[in-house]
Amino acid sequence: MSARYAIYFAPAQDSPWWAFGAGWLGRDEFADTPLQAPESNHFSIDERLAITLEPRRYGFHATLKAPFRLGKQHTQEHLLERVQALAEQLVPCMLGPLEALSLGKFVALLPTKTPPDVATLAQACVLGLDDLRAALTEEELARRQISKLDARELELLHCYGYPYVLEKFRFHFTLTGPVDQPTRQRVMQAVAAQVSQLNLTAPLRLDRLCVFRQAAPGAAFKRIADVVLAA
């Protein structure tokens, strides 16, 4: 099967938010190399690596357009050209303070109050690039656990290849795979002080579209391009 691409927002590599997120997950998604997890009073290194196994494959990011395969008539170069053109039309926006919360069985960083501009920007990525996307295969549809989706989510899945877009979109940075409630509570406690400090000293600005590439099924996603928003 061909490579998959995704359009994410991720902080710049020299950002303290990137240092926090990449350090927490234990991976540099630019080089696809492990990072040593910082010491924590809440988790051993082995436990940290276990609970972050799933999000580590994707890198520290917030999804704008979920992973997709390119249609046969499109190339990576074409995708990068289109992302560049789209970024030139989009305005950066401040995200406001973030906090670690339970999102289903996961822990994620979410804005305490998501600015409306964020949903508008994500919608532009979903709609503006969707003609590049190959249709979902039966196998890809099966992995989406269709039986757990409501009618609108199912409609969005068939229209755009992902159920959590448009009015179902929720901006977030995933910090764990599925974990039980006590573990979620420990994660939120473990990151609270650092996230609070980052909110004060380095308010996060959504200022770029990041293109990630997964070379083959099961492979980790690599960050191959950052395109700064320029409108």
Q: State residue 178's pLDDT score.
A: 97
For residues 215 and 222, give the distance between their C-alpha atoms in angstroms, rounded to a whole number: 8
**Position 58 pLDDT exceeds 80:** yes
pLDDT tens track for 61-80: 999 999 999 999 999 999 99
| Percentage of the chain lying above the pLDDT 70 cut | 100
What is the model's pLDDT at position 149? Answer: 92
In this prediction, residue 157 carries a pLDDT of 95
Average pLDDT, the chain: 95
Give the architecture (CATH level 2) of 4-114+171-228. Alpha-Beta Complex (3.90)
Confidence of residue 40 (pLDDT cuts 50, 70, 90): confident
Domain locations along the chain: 4-114+171-228
What pLDDT is recorded for position 124?
98
Q: What angle do CA 18, 196, 192 make, to 5 degrees?
A: 90
pLDDT of residue 82: 98
Where residue 231 falls among pLDDT bands split at 50, 70, 90? confident
39 pLDDT above the threshold of 80: no
How does residue 37 score in pLDDT terms, banded at 50, 70 and 90? confident
Q: What are the backbone angles phi and psi of residue 196, rounded to the nearest 5°? A: -60, -40
